[in-house]
Amino acid sequence: MKSSRLQVRGLRVDYEDTTAVKDVDLAVDAGMVFGLIGPNGAGKTSLIRSIAALVDPTYGQISIDGIDLFTDSSAALQRIGYMPDAPPLYEDLTVYEFLELFAGAYGVPVPRRRGRILELVEQVQLTEKLDTLCGGLSRGMRQRIFLAKCLLHDPSLLLLDEPASGLDPNARREFGDIIRKLGESGKAIVVSSHILGELSDFCNSVAIMEQGHMRISGRIEDIIPAVSDSRHIRLRTVENQTEIVQKVLQEFPQITHTNMVDNTVEFRLEGDDQTQAECLGQLVGRGVRILEFAEVQLDLHDIFQQVTDGGLA
């Protein structure tokens, strides 16, 4: 049986007056870019910090590549690349020296160190900054250095906590491209964020956390049918025919959550292909001039709203 890169079982993290993570189970396989979604205070950072061995969980099991984090932390940590939100740097070290520090800490063999650092700075497009002091770098450059730092030892699991916060749109897009490529190369990546738009670009799996609970997790294509037993239909007409459309839709008790804006109507249909075809036939029969009548694929916003109360900004 194939084992997951990251396996979390029954994890609980308590603080003095709150429980941040409540009996969470999670499995992340190779190639998964796993978006950890939830509002502020949902427990995302506590979960990531527990996996990075920075927080003592109350109980539970964490294993990386089958290695238990608590019994063999050194071997487990060698397989993790961790990047926190707003990571600090040694301002008086150059980019090369900073990366060399962590290459040494993660045990990259001395003869391979320089080559590995050069390879990674090229990858994050900072080759020309190699001899610049870290103190003189912009926020975006710092984030990229940290990503390079996380990759130095070629970990099998990357933990990225709000990695794109504070980046401008271009830097965010570039960052997303890098993460997507890393996922394609076979790494397991856990990315936490409360900005869904940022995750939807590169995640192929998601987990939604709310008040410490893992509400749902898995590949997006597996989650959609699980979270929604209805079809999302978008109807676009040539001109505004609100009254007729509304009348037709009301004749179908399977249609709910109708939302009309100008010539576009979105609604949920709890029925099969037959019902959908009947609905279309009725609209055409009543003279509605249709430009588009199609099922809409759910995005992360929709999934999140379906699963939670929609409390995300």
Partner 1 sequence: MTMTTPHHTRKEPFVRLKDNPLLTAQTRRSFRESTLVKALIVPAVLGICALVAGQTRLGPWQFDFADELLMMLIGFFLLLQAPSRMSSLMAQERNSGILEFHQATPTSGWTDALGYLVGGTIRHYVRAFVLIPFLLIATLLNDSSFLDALGAVLILCTTGIMYQLLAMLLGLIGGKRGFFGTLATAIPIILILFGQVLVKADITILAHLTPYPALIDLSVLDAGLTSAGDTYTTFVFGMTLSPLFYTIVYHLFVASFLFWAVARKLRRTDATVFSKPGAFIVYGVLSILLMSDLYSPALKMGRFALFVYLQTTVILGVLITTFICPTLLQYLRRKRRLAKDGASRSSHWADSARVWATTGVFGLVWIALFYLVSERFVAFGVAQTAISIESALLCLQVLGLFAFTAAVCEYAHFASGKSALATLGLVVLIFVIVPWVFFAVGHLNETMKPLGYLGVLSPTYGTLFSITYYVSPLDKLPITNGTEHLSHLFTWLTTGLFLWQTRTRLNWHSVSSSGGVNKLAQ
Beta strands in the chain (DSSP E): 6-14, 19-28, 33-37, 59-64, 67-68, 80-83, 157-161, 188-193, 205-210, 213-219, 231-237, 255-261, 264-269, 290-295
Q: Does 110 bind partner 1 (CB under 8 A)?
A: yes
Give the C-alpha separation, 25 to 207, whole Å. 10
Q: Report the nearest approach of partner 1 to the CB of residue 33 (Å).
A: 13
The residue range among 146-154, 192-200, 229-237, 275-283 that interacts with partner 1, by the rule CB under 8 A, is 146-154
Pick 22 or 215: Cβ nearer partner 1:
22
Q: Report the nearest approach of partner 1 to the CB of residue 145 (Å).
A: 12
**Bridge-based pairing state of the strands 290-295 and 231-237:** antiparallel
Q: Does 156 bind partner 1 (CB under 8 A)?
A: yes
Q: Does 70 bind partner 1 (CB under 8 A)?
A: no
Pick 38 or 212: Cβ nearer partner 1:
212
Count of CB atoms within 10 A of residue 95's CB? 27
The residue range among 38-46, 81-89, 219-227, 295-303 that interacts with partner 1, by the rule CB under 8 A, is 81-89
Near partner 1 in 182-221, by CB under 8 A: 182, 185-187
The residue range among 91-99, 168-176, 196-204, 282-290 that interacts with partner 1, by the rule CB under 8 A, is 91-99
Q: Please, what's the largest Cα pairwise distance for the chain?
A: 76
Count of CB atoms within 10 A of residue 76's CB? 22
Q: What are phi and psi of 240, to 5 degrees?
A: -70, 110
Q: Which three-class secondary structure state does DSSP give residue 175?
A: helix
Instruction: Tell me which residues touch partner 1 (CB under 8 A).
Output: 12, 14-19, 22, 30, 52-54, 56-59, 73-75, 77-80, 82, 84, 87-90, 92-93, 97-98, 100-110, 112, 123, 151, 153-156, 181-182, 185-187
